[in-house]
Chain A
């Protein structure tokens, strides 16, 4: 049984002029525990929407999403929130650290929604996780006193502190320079590997994407497997590209249907 399983998932929204914007179309994806998957694509291709669906922040319009074999459609909002906190860790492009709180408080923040030992030992757990990302000496620093790379490491520590089964990284290196981005991805890979969490990274950077075991390209709302043999170099399309998406067309905006 796979950890995550999307089958023919679509996501569309109704525009103010009554037209339907199809953001995702026929997405089928399987992710096993401990896997590292990357999804590439330019802005506006539905990458974040896919990530939000995977992270239970959004729901598919149609199709099926199984989490450990159970359909998430049957989960109540409360249960979805609970599973989101328990099973998913988010890493955002803009770090999204909470201002006015120290690095330690930021990392401890998700543990406020945990129960039992995790809640009561939140500061110790957060300090330990910051130590693991190399910031054991910056516990009381405010985010604005940290560099971009350090802020993203705090964000990674925060995403991992509850021991999630899936890490969803949305452009994790988007706000970092190439070298720092590489270091951050190496750290993310390493810690995800240590904890056995699956890592799904969305990026427009092919070099970052190349670090994953499996690679996908999202274009026009359609997810297509790709093979990256050399870092940053797409060597072949693996899956069938839908007939209404021009082959080789890297990105398409969401298709609008009347």
Chain B
């Protein structure tokens, strides 16, 4: 025990005494570790940003999407020209999600509905969903809120609208509970509870409404077609569930063909880019290590007398070897720690909105793996950089060293 501690203490003492040279030698190592750690973390952050962006369109990883097509005959597939019975789909979907214990699921339908704006009635793109859609698709509102489960039971339908819609409505404050008449054969007054950012500048008015509200308040579902079913499932279960859900829905929806498929991601950053940036960081670390070897070698030559004196104290050649080696390792570990801290400071202060063009909802914590990689690289470089001077130190002849 005391042998290990004393080796470490000795190494630390050496670094403390020669702090200037150590500092100079280690700047390169610290910078390289900062680069490797920071890049690894930044790559993970970018991945998260891309992932969230993708998830806003396609749902979280993994979202199974079940679509039903009315079967005409044989292999023929037709578009929805007849009005499906929402109750049938609700029953089928509910049974399937309950059977497999799927917590987050939503029906998704698309259509148009007439809204009576102050400037006149206008047909608006309407996406009909369940409250869980907000969770599955990481829905973000710029004002107000997304649907809550309790909204399903409210008497007046609620809508979440895009900014174009909101501006057309006169930009009312949402805490004043603004309403708009949803026209059609049976007009109903709907409350605007949330506003979301338009996808592009000239995007026409669009809105989200709850499936149950649409089914309850609109006279017919014509134009909406059979709703798609989105289910956020654990990634490891997705492959297993896919055929089972297909089979069950086919059985529960006679006359319909059912297709269940998972969403997909763009993960280019996981591969090529990541390796390129890590390669650059590794090269920087190599240069730092070579610099460390150089300085350590020069230092050992200046410390020959000291090494001889230590041998007279009873230092074995093994102890001298590990002492010099540990100096290098302890130094690079300290540099690594500094590098990791700098990387954390940089990563935590990145203006995410500006860099990634949008906020990151679930900001990943500073990845432990990145810190571990940085520390492992620093330790490895320290060990390699220490080998040569340690070997030189062991070869010092004690008698000559004392007289040096």
* CB interface residues, A 14-68, toward B, < 8 Å: 48-49, 52, 55, 57-58
In the complex, identify which listed stretch (A109-117, A130-138, A220-228, A229-237) lies at the interface while the others stay far away: A109-117
Interface string of B278-315 (1 = CB under 8 A from A): 00000000000000000000000000011001111111
Main secondary structure of the interface of B (DSSP, over half): helix
Interface string of B1-43 (1 = CB under 8 A from A): 0110110011001000110000000000000000000000000
Closest Cβ neighbor of B308 among chain A residues: A96
**In the bound complex, do residue A109 and residue B398 qualify as a contact, i.e. CB atoms below 8 Å apart?**
no
Interface string of B37-75 (1 = CB under 8 A from A): 000000000000000000000000000000000000000
In the assembled complex, B138 has its CB within 8 A of some CB on chain A: no
**In the bound complex, do residue A98 and residue B6 qualify as a contact, i.e. CB atoms below 8 Å apart?**
no
* CB interface residues, A 70-85, toward B, < 8 Å: 77-78, 81-85
Query: A92 to B306, alpha carbons, bound, how many Å?
Result: 13
Residue among A48, A55, A112, A115 making CB contact with B312, cutoff 8 Å: A55
**In the bound complex, do residue B312 and residue A113 qualify as a contact, i.e. CB atoms below 8 Å apart?**
no
Query: A112 to B309, alpha carbons, bound, how many Å?
Result: 13
CB-CB under 8 A for A109 and B2, given A92-B402, A100-B17: no
CB-CB under 8 A for A101 and B9, given A81-B315, A96-B402: no
In the assembled complex, A8 has its CB within 8 A of some CB on chain B: no
* CB interface residues, A 180-231, toward B, < 8 Å: none
Say which size band chain B's interface belongs to. Answer: 20 to 34
**In the bound complex, do residue B318 and residue A96 qualify as a contact, i.e. CB atoms below 8 Å apart?**
no
Tell me the count of chain A residues lying within 8 A, CB to CB, of chain B. 31
**In the bound complex, do residue A85 and residue B314 qualify as a contact, i.e. CB atoms below 8 Å apart?**
yes
**In the bound complex, do residue B312 and residue A120 qualify as a contact, i.e. CB atoms below 8 Å apart?**
no
CB-CB under 8 A for A78 and B313, given A52-B399, A101-B17: no
Complex contacts, A98 vs chain B, CB 8 Å = 306, 309
**In the bound complex, do residue A81 and residue B316 qualify as a contact, i.e. CB atoms below 8 Å apart?**
yes
Nearest CB of chain B from residue A109's CB, rounded to whole Å: 6
Interface string of B321-336 (1 = CB under 8 A from A): 0000000000000000
Closest Cβ neighbor of B17 among chain A residues: A100
Complex contacts, B309 vs chain A, CB 8 Å = 96, 98, 109
**In the bound complex, do residue B399 and residue A113 qualify as a contact, i.e. CB atoms below 8 Å apart?**
no
Residue among A58, A81, A92, A100 making CB contact with B314, cutoff 8 Å: A81
Query: A217 to B45, alpha carbons, bound, how many Å?
Result: 79
Nearest CB of chain A from residue B245's CB, rounded to whole Å: 67
Residue among B311, B318, B398 making CB contact with A78, cutoff 8 Å: B318
Nearest CB of chain B from residue A36's CB, rounded to whole Å: 21
Residue among B18, B315, B316 making CB contact with A100, cutoff 8 Å: B18
Nearest CB of chain A from residue B186's CB, rounded to whole Å: 88
**In the bound complex, do residue B311 and residue A119 qualify as a contact, i.e. CB atoms below 8 Å apart?**
no
Residue among A92, A100, A105, A119 making CB contact with B2, cutoff 8 Å: A119
Complex contacts, B312 vs chain A, CB 8 Å = 55, 57, 84, 88, 90
Nearest CB of chain A from residue B271's CB, rounded to whole Å: 49
Complex contacts, B311 vs chain A, CB 8 Å = 57, 81, 84
**In the bound complex, do residue A116 and residue B2 qualify as a contact, i.e. CB atoms below 8 Å apart?**
yes
Complex contacts, A128 vs chain B, CB 8 Å = none
In the assembled complex, B319 has its CB within 8 A of some CB on chain A: yes
Residue among B2, B310, B316 making CB contact with A115, cutoff 8 Å: B2
Q: Among the interface residues A49, A78, A112, which one has the most CB atoms of the partner chain B within 10 A?
A: A112
Complex contacts, B317 vs chain A, CB 8 Å = 77, 81
Complex contacts, A92 vs chain B, CB 8 Å = 402
Nearest CB of chain A from residue B2's CB, rounded to whole Å: 4
Closest Cβ neighbor of A120 among chain B residues: B2
**In the bound complex, do residue B315 and residue A113 qualify as a contact, i.e. CB atoms below 8 Å apart?**
yes
Complex contacts, A82 vs chain B, CB 8 Å = 314, 316
Complex contacts, B402 vs chain A, CB 8 Å = 57, 92, 96
Complex contacts, B17 vs chain A, CB 8 Å = 100-101
Complex contacts, A55 vs chain B, CB 8 Å = 312
**In the bound complex, do residue B305 and residue A113 qualify as a contact, i.e. CB atoms below 8 Å apart?**
no
**In the bound complex, do residue A109 and residue B313 qualify as a contact, i.e. CB atoms below 8 Å apart?**
yes
Query: A44 to B76, alpha carbons, bound, how many Å?
Result: 110
12 A-B contacts, Cβ less than 8 Å apart? Answer: A48-B403, A58-B398, A84-B311, A84-B313, A85-B314, A88-B312, A92-B402, A96-B402, A109-B310, A115-B2, A119-B5, A120-B2
- The 10 tightest CB contacts between A and B, nearest first, are A85-B314, A100-B17, A110-B313, A81-B316, A119-B2, A113-B314, A90-B312, A112-B6, A84-B314, A115-B2
15 more contacts with CB within 8 A, not counting A57-B399, A58-B399, A113-B319, are A48-B399, A57-B311, A57-B398, A77-B317, A78-B318, A81-B315, A81-B317, A82-B314, A84-B312, A84-B313, A84-B314, A92-B402, A96-B309, A113-B315, A120-B2
